[in-house]
Amino acid sequence: MTRFALLSVTLSASLALAGWTQQGDGEASFDAKGNIGMKIHGVAKKLAVADDGKALTLTVKFDDISTDNTLRDSHLKEDTEATKYPDITLTVPLEGLKLDGGSGTAKGTFAMHGQSKAVSFKYSSRVKDGVTHVEGNADISLKDYGVKVRSYLGVTVKPEVSVAAKFSLKQ
């Protein structure tokens, strides 16, 4: 078999495994709190979802996150060393996910700031017109990922953060 034929067979087999394709941009968000009642809400209007046949991997770039405050966005990027670690990912094995409607809990690997940890999350899916719409959320601690907790002008961000994602897939 020629190298080209072998490459074609390998590529075709890989594509056959990847059964889900993303529809639209998706969105990710986070909510953090600080002392004296401070609340921070950040949103990334771009969330990439990839299917390798075994797992879904969700990816958000720190550059796409906005808190509607440029100084806070700058602090976020400094504290997470976004230049060195530009992506946040969640990789979830397809086995055990209910993507045909319904809700549940699942486990995946959340990676940020060069560190990866197992995380449990809640999710729901609904199917409409052949498209599966998925929403999920989890709670993480910035300390688990070696992220510096910021204190600025007497206001300190708490390390516990709620993260959420929503996206659509088609099989």
Percent of the chain residues past pLDDT 70, beyond the cut: 89
What are the tens digits of pLDDT across the range 67-91? 999 999 999 999 999 999 999 999 9
Give the CATH number for residue 108.
2.40.128.110
Please indicate, yes or no, if residue 68 is contained in any of the structural domains: yes
pLDDT in tens, 110-136: 999 999 999 999 999 999 999 999 999
DSSP secondary-structure letter at 2? -
* pTM for the model: 0.85
Task: Give a yes or no: residue 118 inside a domain.
Answer: yes
Query: How far, in Å, are 89, 96, 136, 142 from residue 34 at the CA level?
Result: 24, 36, 23, 13
Q: What is the dihedral of CA 34, 105, 42, 54, to 10 degrees?
A: 130
| Cα distance between residue 85 and residue 71, in whole Å | 19
Nearest CA-CA partner of 47 in 135, 123, 129, 127: 135
How many independent structural domains does the chain possess?
1
Cα–Cα distance for residue pair 59/88, rounded to 1 Å: 6
Please give the angle made by the CA atoms of 164, 117 and 56, to the nearest 5 degrees. Answer: 55
Query: 124 lies in a domain?
Result: yes
Which residue has better confidence, 28 or 15?
Answer: 28
Residue 91 is assigned to a structural domain of this protein: yes
